[in-house]
Amino acid sequence: EHYAFAEKSSSLFRNFFAKRTKELKPAVQSAPGWKLFGKVPPRENLPKDSKIIQQEYEARTGRMYKPPPPSARRKNIEFEPLSTTALILEDRPANLPAKSVEEALRHRQEYDEMVAEAKKREIKEAHKRKKIMRERFKQEENIASAMVIWVNEILPNWEGMRATRRVRELWWQGLPPSVRGKVWSLAMGNELNITPELYEIFLSRAKERWKSFSETSSENDIEGASVADREASLELIKLDISRTFPSLYIFQKGGPYHDLLHSVLGAYTCYRPDVGYVQGMSFIAAVLILNLEEADAFIAFANLLNKPCQLAFFRVDHSMMLKYFAAFEVFFEENLPKLFLHFKSYSLTPDIYLIDWIFTLYSKSLPLDLACRVWDVFCRDGEEFLFRTGLGILRLYEDILLQMDFIHIAQFLTKLPEDITSEKLFSCIAAIQMQNSNKKWAQVFASLMKDNKEGDKNHSPALKS
């Protein structure tokens, strides 16, 4: 009996809940769905395609649907909002309370202020762009007019005009790129009487040495070889070439000037085995290659490195280098006494920053276009201008350097800011006076050389005996 009663009860509950479920299903389907702003009825079927909806509308109403023109869609604002900041002009959804008058006015005011600020920035940037363009056009006009003067007047009468005041002033402003190489060659001269044929001879010798060296050499041979042989090897020069103006990508392997730079440097190591290849030479040769033909670049390179200052540095003549540093410090103290004492307090000597500047003639330390302008005046004034440029850099950053300690000064001068401009630097260089107690650079340097010779005599063992 108990079993029969349980079976009957179970059947009764199953039938009841089955019926209840059937009654509940339509109620669930008709329950309202939820969206972000208010309740909307749920979609019973899948979303219809817009074309189907349009066809149903036309069939029901008997007329074609025409979408409103773009201008009629949004009458409450003058333009489509480009960002969320413009949404303050939109009306709120219908199911939310409208903005109060005060809030709407505040939002309108904030938006108007944002638009006004944006317009101010645009106007300011437009003026800045116009100013840059005006300066660029002016610079181009100056270069074009200067080029005419150089080509038609100065170069044909080089010897008679190079030292005149007018030419020197024009020279200071920078040489037009089209005549730069020619002026450099004339200014440097060719005291060594090198010919293009002589360059080809030394280049052939370099190629032979590289070939034989690569066929027979090993690591032990490199260690035991002479300095000239080591420096003439393909691998050692190639290593430095890859570091030359890396941002230009023209001197690295596969670049258009890689082999050309390698040839000039290789030929020079054969021409001057007593000097050989020294790190930093690749930057000087690269600048010349960018402005001269191959043979002319080699001639200028050999003559430039034969100048007393460059020869002293590239042969690592410590005695001569110290004289140059001492002369530099004389004018450093004269022009920038505060910074001079600051450097002295940290025992920061010129060799820490000057060696790299002089070795590469500023081509590694300054932007290339600015370095070329330094070279322009260096060709005019000689070695003195290299040290005057160094003082100009120190003057330009004097205020910053006075706040730094030894480590930060050394780091700063090793890696100068990239935003340095020719106008600022040359105005600082112009303010440097290369005169001390009525003595010019050459006289100061000569007196240091004289003092050194007299000191050597006084300390000579022969004189003491």
User: What confidence score (pLDDT) does residue 272 get?
Assistant: 92
Which has the higher per-residue pLDDT, 231 or 172? 172
User: What confidence score (pLDDT) does residue 79 get?
Assistant: 47
pLDDT tens sequence across 386-402? 999 999 999 999 999 99
d(CA 340, CA 348): 9
User: What confidence score (pLDDT) does residue 88 get?
Assistant: 54
Q: Which amino acid is at 130?
A: K
Treating both helix axes as pointing N-terminal to C-terminal, what angle do 258-271 and 234-241 enclose, rounded to 10 degrees? 130
User: What confidence score (pLDDT) does residue 143 get?
Assistant: 83
So what CATH class is 188-306?
mainly alpha
User: What confidence score (pLDDT) does residue 465 get?
Assistant: 33
Q: Whole-number mean pLDDT of the chain?
A: 81
Whether 277 contacts 265, CB under 8 Å: yes
Which has the higher per-residue pLDDT, 210 or 241? 241
| pLDDT of 214 strictly over 80 | no
pLDDT tens sequence across 224-281? 445 445 444 456 787 889 889 988 889 988 899 999 999 999 999 999 988 888 888 9
Q: For the residues 454-461, what does the mean pLDDT come to?
A: 51
**Block residue for tokens 């002369």:** 327
Confidence of residue 222 (pLDDT cuts 50, 70, 90): very low
Confidence of residue 416 (pLDDT cuts 50, 70, 90): very high
Question: How much of the chain exceeds pLDDT 90, in percent?
Answer: 52
Find, among 363, 436, 432, 434, the residue nearest to 393 by Cα.
432
Residues 6+ apart with CB under 8 A from 253: 238, 242
Q: For the residues 80-101, what does the mean pLDDT come to?
A: 62
Q: For the residues 109-136, what does the mean pLDDT come to?
A: 87
pLDDT tens sequence across 326-382? 999 999 999 999 999 999 999 999 999 999 999 999 999 999 999 999 999 999 999
For residue 298, with 0-12 CB atoms within 10 Å meaning exposed, 13-18 middle and 19 or more buried, which class applies?
buried
Task: Domain ranges for the chain, please list them.
Answer: 103-173, 188-306, 312-456
The enclosing H or E element of 39 equals: strand 39-40
User: What confidence score (pLDDT) does residue 101 get?
Assistant: 83
d(CA 383, CA 315): 16
User: What confidence score (pLDDT) does residue 26 get?
Assistant: 47
Q: For the residues 171-193, what does the mean pLDDT come to?
A: 94
| Most confidently modeled range among 93-107, 211-225, 241-255, 312-326 | 312-326
User: What confidence score (pLDDT) does residue 196 get?
Assistant: 96
| pLDDT of 77 strictly over 50 | no
Tell me: domain 312-456, CATH 1.10.472.80, correct? yes
Find, among 325, 299, 312, the residue nearest to 359 by Cα.
312
Confidence of residue 456 (pLDDT cuts 50, 70, 90): low
